[in-house]
Structure 1
Amino acid sequence: MEDIVTVAVVNFEPTWGDTHANCNRMIGYMRTASKRGADIVVFPETALSGYDVDADHEGDAQMHRQVAESVDGPCAKAFASAAKEYGLYAVYGAPERDGNAVYNAAFVVSPEGEVVGTYRKLHLPFKEAKWAERGQEPFMFDTPWGPVGVSICYDTYVFGEIMRYYRASGCRLIINCTAVDEFVTAENVRTAVEYLSATNNVYIASANCIGCIRENAMLGGSHIVGPSSHVPAIHYYAGQPFGAKGSDEQEMFLGTLDLSYVNKSFLAQQWADKNPDFTPGRYIDMYKKLANMDKFASR
C-alpha cells in the first residue's frame, strides 16, 4: 500500500441548474489538477447542479429531480472518461437518479475510466428532503493508498458515527463534499472537522461551494486537514479553514499527504494509546435500544 498521495480540493461556484456548463468546467479542473500532479480531485456537494432548493416547483418538477442522472448518465460517463484520460480519481457532488428515487450523492470515478459508485447522503437538513431521499449506507472505494471513505456535509459535521466507521475500517483519508453557506456559522463546521480529524487521527479533504448561487451565500474554505507531526495538533495541508479571510474565492488547492502518519491504530496518535478501548459490540447494543424507541423507530 502506498503512503504518499496528492489531493486537490476545489472551491467551485456552480451555475444553478446547468449541468452541461458545470460538467465542462469541472473537467477543466480535472485536467489542470492532473497537470499539477494530483492523484485525487474533490468537488463540492451538488457541484454539478448547484445546491439551493428549487422553491418555485414541487415534486418531479424541481430542478434537482429534473437534472438527476444515473451512474451511466452522460455526465457520469464524461467524468469517467476524463478520469481515465488524466489518470486520477475524481469525487463530485450531484443529484443521482435510481429509478424513481433521487439522492443527494457523491459520484466517484477512477483512473480506469469507471464510475466506481456513489455515496448517498444519509441525513438531509433544511429543505433537502423536498427533492432527495435518504441514503442508507456508507461508501468506501479502493485505491493504491488503501480504502478512502466518502461523506457529505451534514453527515460529516453532525453525525460522528460515519467518520468513526470509516477510520475503524482502515481509511486514512476521508473525502467530504460539502455545501456550507453563511446560515451555518463557519466556526461550527471548522470546529467539527478539526475535532474529527484530531480524534480519529485521519486526513479529511473538504470541497465547498462558493458564491450566492440562488439564495444562500456559500462559505468556500475548501481544505485538507490532518494529523500534525506535533502531536496532538492538526495541520492544514492545503486551502484555508472555513470562514478564513479570502477563503471564498474560486480556486483549487493541492496538498501532498504522507498517510503513514495514520498507520497506527485510529485514536492512537491523539491519545498515545496503542490499543484504544473501542468496543463496537457495546455500541451495537446501545443503538439497538435507541432504535426500538418510538421516537426513532419510524426514521
Structure 2
Amino acid sequence: MAYESDIINIAVLNFKAAPGDKESNLKRMIGFSRAAAKRGAEMIIFPEMALMGYGMFIDEDVPQEEKVRVTETVNGPSTKALEAVAKEEGIYIIFGMSEKLKEEDTDIYNSAVVLGPDGLIGSYQKIHPYGSENMWAKRGEKPFMFDTKWGPISVGICYDNYQFPELARYYAWKGARLHLNPTASAEEVPNEGSRYAWQRCYRPHLEYLVLSTSIYIASSNLTGWDWKNSVYWGGGSFVTGPKTNPFEEVECATYLGDVEDYQEKLYVGTLDLSLATRHQCSDNPWGGGPDYRPSIYKKMFDEIG
C-alpha cells in the first residue's frame, strides 16, 4: 500500500475532565488543541469521555434520563466548537463523548468523534462497553477508519483494545499504521503498590498490540479524581510502536509520553510511520503468502458465531 506521507506530528495528553461540566471541559479542550497546533501537532487525541467526564455515567444514582440529557449528537454545539478549531488550525482532533445518533434518541453510545482540517469526519461507537458501562451505553456495531495523507488511521476505545486484539489486527490488515486509543483507564484508589499494579496492566496490553500488528498505538488517558472522588484515572498517556532493531522480531519502543506520569500534561512528538511495517500482512517469502490468514480465522469464528 502506498502512503503519501510517513512523518506525522502527534499529540497525546493526560486530561483531567471536570465531572459533568461540559462547558469547562470544552473550553480546556479547545485550549489544548490550539496549544498542540502551536507546537506543530497535526493531530491531537483526547481521552475517552473527555467532553462529559466519565464518572457521572457510571454512577447508578444518576438517572439515565440525565445522562441522555447531557449527551449530544456529532452535530451538536460542542462538536461544532471543536470543528471550528480543527478547521482554523488545520489539525485533526479526536475526542471522547457520549453520543446520540439523533437528537430525539434515548439510546446513547460511548463514542470517539473525529474532526479534520475540512471538518467533521465521523464517529466511532465503542463496540465493547466495559462492565456496568453496558447499563448506559449501547454497543457499537462497526469498526471505524478515516483516510489521511498518512494512510488510513483507526480508532478503538479502551476495553476494545485491551481485551480484543482482533480489532487492531483487522485495522492493520486494512492498511492502518497508526491506531488511536482514547481511554479511561482507572488506577485503584491510590495506595502503596497501586501505581505499579496499574502500569503492569495498562502498558503491556498496548505493547502487545504493537507486537501482534507492527503498527503504532497512540493512547490518551483521563487523569486524577473523577465524580465524587469515586474513581481515580491513571494518566500515563503515551505512544508506543515498533522499535528499530537489527532482528526479524518486532520489539516495542515508547516514542512519546510517560506511563509513569499522572499529571495533566500535553505531549507532542514526531513519528516515522514507515517503521510500522505491518509485516504479518505482507507476503512471507518462505511461505508464499501473508502469515496473517483471515480466511482461516473466518472459518473458526463462523463455528462459534
TM-score, length basis structure 1: 0.90
| 1:42 paired to 2:45 | yes
SS class of match (1:195) = helix
Distance (whole Å) between structure 2 residues aligned to residue 197 and residue 273 of structure 1:
22
| 1:103 paired to 2:116 | no
Give the match for residue 240 of structure 1.
258
Question: 1:49-64 counterparts in 2 under 5 A?
Answer: 49-52=52-55, 53-61=58-66, 64=67
SS class of match (1:185) = helix
SS class of match (2:32) = helix
| 1:85 paired to 2:76 | no
Report how far residue 198 of structure 1 moved.
Answer: 1.9
Give the match for residue 210 of structure 1.
223
| 1:68 paired to 2:71 | yes
Distance (whole Å) between structure 2 residues aligned to residue 273 and residue 172 of structure 1:
23
Report how far residue 277 of structure 1 moved.
Answer: 2.1
* 1:191-222 Cα deviation digits (max 9, x unpaired): 11011112210000000000111211110000
Aligned residues: 282
Report how far residue 228 of structure 1 moved.
Answer: 1.1
Return the letter of the residue paired with 2:144: F
Match of 2:202 among 189, 199, 218: 189
Distance (whole Å) between structure 1 residues aligned to residue 251 and residue 287 of structure 2:
16
| 1:14 paired to 2:17 | yes
- Decide whether the 8 Å contact of 1:152 with 1:178 is kept in 2: yes
Question: 1:117-132 counterparts in 2 under 5 A?
Answer: 117-132=122-137
Distance (whole Å) between structure 1 residues aligned to residue 223 and residue 266 of structure 2:
12
Question: 1:168-179 counterparts in 2 under 5 A?
Answer: 168-179=173-184
Report how far residue 58 of structure 1 moved.
Answer: 2.9
Give the match for residue 164 of structure 1.
169
Match of 1:226 among 241, 265, 271: 241
SS class of match (2:241) = strand
Over 3 Å counting, the alpha-carbon distance change for 1:117 and 1:60 in structure 2 is same
* Higher mean C-alpha deviation, range 119-128 or range 158-167: 119-128
Match of 1:116 among 112, 117, 121: 121
Return the letter of the residue paired with 1:240: D
Give the match for residue 213 of structure 2.
200
- Decide whether the 8 Å contact of 1:123 with 1:154 is kept in 2: yes
Report how far residue 111 of structure 1 moved.
Answer: 0.7
Report how far residue 185 of structure 1 moved.
Answer: 2.8
SS class of match (2:187) = coil
Give the match for residue 294 of structure 1.
none
- How many percent identity over aligned positions? 40
Return the letter of the residue paired with 2:242: P
Over 3 Å counting, the alpha-carbon distance change for 1:275 and 1:221 in structure 2 is farther
Give the match for residue 24 of structure 1.
27
Over 3 Å counting, the alpha-carbon distance change for 1:35 and 1:274 in structure 2 is farther
* Higher mean C-alpha deviation, range 176-185 or range 136-145: 176-185
- Decide whether the 8 Å contact of 1:267 with 1:273 is kept in 2: no
Report how far residue 276 of structure 1 moved.
Answer: 3.2
SS class of match (1:8) = strand
Give the match for residue 193 of structure 2.
none
Structure 2 unaligned blocks of 5 or more:
189-196
Over 3 Å counting, the alpha-carbon distance change for 1:103 and 1:218 in structure 2 is same
TM-score, length basis structure 2: 0.88
SS class of match (1:101) = coil
Report how far residue 60 of structure 1 moved.
Answer: 1.7
SS class of match (1:127) = helix
Report how far residue 264 of structure 1 moved.
Answer: 5.2
Return the letter of the residue paired with 1:84: K
